[in-house]
Amino acid sequence: MSPLSPMPDDARMYPIFADAGLGEDVFNPRQHLSCELVELYVLRLAVQLVETLGLAPALAEPRATDEVLALRGFAPGFRAALGWLLERLAVAGLLVREGGAAQVRYRLSAPLPEPDLVAARAEALANDPSYAPTYAMLDEAAAAYAKVASGETSGERALFQKLSLWVAYFSNSNGYYALNNHVGAAAAAARLPSAGGRVLEVGAGLGSATEALLDRLAGNGRDLAGYRVTEPVLAFRRRAERNLTAAYRDVPLAFAALDVNQPWAAQGVVPGSFDLIWGVNVFHLARRLEDVLAEARIALAPGGWLVIGEGMRPAADRVVGAEFPFQLLDSFLDVELDPVRRPMPGFLSAEHWCRALAAAGFSAIAVAPDVARLLEIYPGFFAAAVCGQR
């Protein structure tokens, strides 16, 4: 199979999704193909960047990431993104990887295929037009790679100046990102008390995950005693508050800042006061994951649940297309690593999430959908929720 061909759908996956309360409205063959096309588009962008960044001469013989960085005169802050690009090409078989884990070297052994980004984007959007914000984000990130490599700008300045880009991307109207919200919301709703639950959402961003959970609860006729929506970025929080309070007038919503990396009680989170704490794509940004999980456990009432909605890396050292834009962001990379519980920044594997929750004292730990079963069928990247009970 060509490295630029999508992995075929496998019907055996869908009963596993159904076991987690996820029907065909969330996971279906069209969605599978769309996700595959995103992964392949990122690979095409990586191929294009070999030319844009002038990497081919440097890769004519085996070289480590630091050697390529120095040879091309790239800014030191580009090291992580460069290493990611080289590894993504190697995983696809487009670069040869040599040496052991201590010093991996990469070599270009044959001409790279023509990426043909225009045709690939057109195919993807014909399959599902709702993915347009995802492709806009990927294209913007690809353009930023060269600027960050040259030292002209940082990833934060290149990407965060365009708020409209993030508003469109972190939306339930974006079929790619909405997967994360719907999967996390299904797991969270299943673990709330039947009535009167108290919810703390961390890293709510623009509120799309909040929408997904509230819509699911409304469909089940569920009431809440309180819902505290927290987001440290003021512009995001204000926008979320304006939209959510207008759309959910009967829900007892409250909005506040919360920096998960600082003590929670000092920020107004009363210990033992929540039945559910959850967040989508925020816990992987914790600088010290064990500390943040400990804070969440303290804030839960006995029997309460932590639900962490995340993209699940298929293996600890496997790069995935979804992290392509975020390799340029310090907030994604600046975390404390641990060889047992957190060997890479960014997304974790399901196995590593379970280890981290167990070490933090959580019980009844589960991953929904069951990623271990899914990986036996399709060794790819999944949206899932890791859950643990106090």
**Cα separation, 45 vs 52, whole angstroms:** 10
Mean pLDDT, residues 271-288: 97
Residue 195: is its pLDDT beyond 90?
no
Average pLDDT in the chain = 94
**Confidence tier at 112 by pLDDT (50, 70, 90):** very high
Q: Which range, 107-111, 190-194, 199-203, 334-338, is most confident?
A: 199-203
Residue 161: is its pLDDT beyond 90?
no
Residue 1: is its pLDDT beyond 70?
no
Tokens, residue 68? 């390529």
Residues belonging to the chain: 390
**Confidence tier at 54 by pLDDT (50, 70, 90):** very high
Mean pLDDT, residues 233-243: 95
**Confidence tier at 6 by pLDDT (50, 70, 90):** confident
Output the CATH code of domain 175-389.
3.40.50.150
All structural domains of the chain with their residue ranges: 16-169, 175-389
**Cα separation, 136 vs 129, whole angstroms:** 12
Mean pLDDT, residues 68-72: 97
C-alpha torsion sign, points 278, 284, 285, 291: positive
**Confidence tier at 100 by pLDDT (50, 70, 90):** confident
Mean pLDDT, residues 269-294: 97
- Give the chain as a 3 state SS string: CCCCCCCCCCCCHHHHHHHCCCCCCCCCHHHHHHHHHHHHHHHHHHHHHHHHCCCCHHHCCCECHHHHHHHHCCCHHHHHHHHHHHHHHHHCCCCEEECCCCCCEEECCCCCCCCCHHHHHHHHHHHCHHHHHHHHHHHHHHHHHHHHHHCCCCHHHHHHCCHHHHHHHCCCCCHHHHHHHHHHHHHHHHCCCCCCEEEEECCCCCCHHHHHHHHHHHHCCCCEEEEEEECCCHHHHHHHHHHHHHHCCCCCEEEECCCCCCCCHHHCCCCCCEEEEEEECCHHHCCCHHHHHHHHHHHEEEEEEEEEEEEEECCCCCCCHHHCHHHHCHHHHCCCCECCCECCCCCCEHHHHHHHHHHCCCEEEEEECCHHHHHHHCCCCEEEEEEEEC
Mean pLDDT, residues 215-239: 90
